[in-house]
Amino acid sequence: MAAMPATATISSGARVSVLVIGSGYGGSVAALRLAQAGVDVHMIEMGMAWDTPGADGKIFAHTTKPDERSFWLRTKTKQPLSSFLGFPIDRDIQRYTGILDAEEFAGITVYQGRGVGGGSLVNGGMAVTPKRENFRAILPSVNPDEMYNVYYPRANAELGVHTIDPAWFEVAECYQYARVGRKQAQRSGFPFVFVPNVYDWDYMKQEQAGTAPRSAVAGELLYGNNYGKKSLQKTYLKQIAATGRVTISPLHRVTSVTPAPRGGYTVEIEQLTTAGAVSTTKTITADTVFFAAGSVGTSKLLVKLKATGALPNLNSEIGKGWGDNGNVMCGRANHIWDPTGTLQASVPTGGIDNWAAGGAFAEVAPLPTGIETWASFYLTLTNNPHRARFHWNPSTKQVDLDWQKVWKQPSIEMAKTIFHKINATEGTIYRSDLFGVNTIWGDHLTYHPLGGAVLNKATDNYGRLVEYPGLYVMDGSLIPGNTSVNPFVTITALAERNIEEIIASDF
Ligand SMILES: Cc1cc2nc3c(=O)[nH]c(=O)nc-3n(C[C@H](O)[C@H](O)[C@H](O)COP(=O)(O)OP(=O)(O)OC[C@H]3O[C@@H](n4cnc5c(N)ncnc54)[C@H](O)[C@@H]3O)c2cc1C
């Protein structure tokens, strides 16, 4: 277990210099750079610290044996793949402040990490810098030279991003599924590219060889990796701990931020029990507040605070520009002579690039069931044009998202540009048993929520909420709905860029 920032239960009545809401990528970058500049920081995280083993001696639950640690306040799991061979695979669990939240809106389920480290605790570790020619469309107000010369390299170095050893890829039993994916892509004329990852590849080799405890090779992913993945706990948060200037309150949730009578901001915070109940409500004052609660968390807070009069002057762009990064999933049934292997590393390592021609990039994903499935499985990122908006609903006192399920259809069409062709070449069909009965497309979810407080619209060009000096946005809500690749490297690089300017000009 890496050294973590000191946990401290913040006291009601406290006054802090900087409060960071959320401990994912945006929050961790902000906290580290502020601390290194000599500023004391307190981080508030609604999830758990994830630093203590459970009864089985492991911190994180196993993918195929989900227990209370696996889901955020649910009594039944809500796995992205809901069935196998037509049989439902979700199971009852104890309600607990577990690591993966499947947050349900009317038209989409949004998966997010909960805990110190945010999404880095549960994600696939795929660490991709978008192609430079796509960057202009993503963040047109940002100087690409700065991003590609300074901030992307900095983010990649700090996160520990590397690509698999290509020679090992050719022989690793746990990547047979990816080699089948490559062979079939290439037979249909699509380029197969390696996807960089934050997983420790040397550790993976030891796992495969049986000389180290298995983690990715044992299928660990969605509910945390016990060994090889370099989550933020092993990178930014470890560095944060070394500064000695940052404390963090886990199991605390920010519910309100409003200008304080004598300067700074009054922040309302709920302390949670592991059953999700509010044990204490606290009021503190912060000179400066960074919203880094993730695209959904930050957007929900800001939309509520504007609508309920806590921050009424926030501009009309708040809540807009939300997208799902075009996520859609599917599986294909292979022939009996194309087995994908019983041993499958949970960390994907390559993808099929048809972005320029078809608006789709398909990651060859594992199905780590431990049995031969003869299935190829894919998460496809597509150039879906739809953008949704968060609204305050005064009758339910909740924030709704107006995403519609039919808005996934363009993503399906883009994904078909790859898989219809592969099926035609191979003489194969889609699997229709993974997302319910007779359902081909996993079009009900996203792992990549983006937008809701878009850079240079809801904020200035560096994440400042200019109507309220001292309030900043620092996470995936700044990015308008799509990054053309997996998003966390861009979220990290953008946070590095923004915090540098904010420290230079505002502190
Ligand atoms: C299953 C899964 C797989 C993924 N795979 C990949 C991948 O391979 N590559 C990739 O690039 N991306 C992947 N992602 C997406 C990636 O993890 C996110 O884009 C990224 O974590 C977002 O970073 P962030 O800083 O915006 O917010 P987050 O990392 O989501 O952090 C926000 C934090 O704020 C906390 N919070 C929210 N509201 C409050 C509140 N009111 N008070 C206090 N705390 C609060 C949350 O608990 C959370 O810890 C995946 C996501 C999931 C769920």
Output the pLDDT for position 7. 85
Q: Do residues 283 and 12 touch, judged by C-beta distance below 8 A?
A: yes
- What mean pLDDT is predicted for residues 268-274? 98
Distance of CA 284 from the midpoint of ligand 1 (Å): 25
Output the pLDDT for position 81. 87
Q: Do residues 93 and 70 touch, judged by C-beta distance below 8 A?
A: yes
Q: Choose the catalytic residue: 62, 252, 444, 448.
A: 448
Q: Do residues 415 and 382 touch, judged by C-beta distance below 8 A?
A: yes
Is pLDDT above 90 for 216? yes
The least confident of 79-93, 104-118, 235-249, 472-486 is 79-93
Atom of ligand 1 nearest to the CA of 255: 41
| Ligand 1 pocket: which of 43, 347, 454, 488 to mutate (most atoms within 8 A of CB) | 488
Return mean pLDDT, the chain. Answer: 96
Q: Do residues 384 and 397 touch, judged by C-beta distance below 8 A?
A: no
- Spell out which residues line ligand 1, taking CB within 6 angstroms: 21-26, 44-47, 111-115, 118-119, 122-126, 222, 253-254, 292-295, 297, 301, 447-448, 475-476, 486-488, 491
Output the pLDDT for position 64. 84
Q: Choose the catalytic residue: 45, 158, 220, 363.
A: 363
Nearest residue (CA) to ligand 1, atom 30 = 294
- What mean pLDDT is predicted for residues 2-14? 86
Distance of CA 115 from the midpoint of ligand 1 (Å): 9
Output the pLDDT for position 168. 98
- What mean pLDDT is predicted for residues 27-36? 98
Atom of ligand 1 nearest to the CA of 253: 42
- What mean pLDDT is predicted for residues 279-303? 98
- What does the alpha-carbon distance between residue 13 and residue 307 come to, in Å, rounded to a whole number? 26
Distance of CA 276 from the midpoint of ligand 1 (Å): 19
| Ligand 1 pocket: which of 42, 45, 257, 302 to mutate (most atoms within 8 A of CB) | 45
Task: Quote the distance between the C-alpha of residue 446 and its chain's center.
Answer: 10
Read off φ and ψ for residue 226, nearest 5 degrees.
-80, -20
Q: Do residues 195 and 349 touch, judged by C-beta distance below 8 A?
A: yes
Distance of CA 22 from the midpoint of ligand 1 (Å): 9
Output the pLDDT for position 505. 98
- What does the alpha-carbon distance between residue 314 and residue 311 come to, in Å, rounded to a whole number? 6
Output the pLDDT for position 3. 72
Q: How many CB atoms lie within 10 A of CB 469?
A: 11
Is pLDDT above 80 for 359? yes
In 47-106 the beta strands, taken as DSSP E runs, fall at 83-84, 87-88, 100-104
Residue 178, CA distances (Å) to 45, 194, 348 in order:
36, 10, 8
Atom of ligand 1 nearest to the CA of 80: 1
Output the pLDDT for position 369. 86
- What does the alpha-carbon distance between residue 474 and residue 500 come to, in Å, rounded to a whole number? 12
Is pLDDT above 60 for 122? yes
Distance of CA 274 from the midpoint of ligand 1 (Å): 20
Atom of ligand 1 nearest to the CA of 295: 26
Atom of ligand 1 nearest to the CA of 495: 25
Is pLDDT above 90 for 82? no
3-state secondary structure 221-244: CCCCCCCCECCHHHCHHHHHHHHC
Q: What is the pLDDT of residues 234-247, one digit of tens each?
A: 999 999 999 999 99
Is pLDDT above 70 for 1? no
Residue 84: which pLDDT band, with cuts at 50, 70 and 90?
confident
| Ligand 1 pocket: which of 4, 19, 25 to mutate (most atoms within 8 A of CB) | 25
Residue 2: which pLDDT band, with cuts at 50, 70 and 90?
low
Known catalytic residue: 363? yes
| Cα distance between the two ends of the chain | 33
Distance of CA 290 from the midpoint of ligand 1 (Å): 15
Is pLDDT above 80 for 85? no
Output the pLDDT for position 83. 82
Of the candidates 204, 320, 312, the one whose C-alpha atom is nearest the C-alpha of residue 258 is 312
Distance of CA 286 from the midpoint of ligand 1 (Å): 24
Percent of the chain residues past pLDDT 90, beyond the cut: 94
Nearest residue (CA) to ligand 1, atom 17 = 119
Output the pLDDT for position 444. 96
Give the DSSP letter of residue 502: H
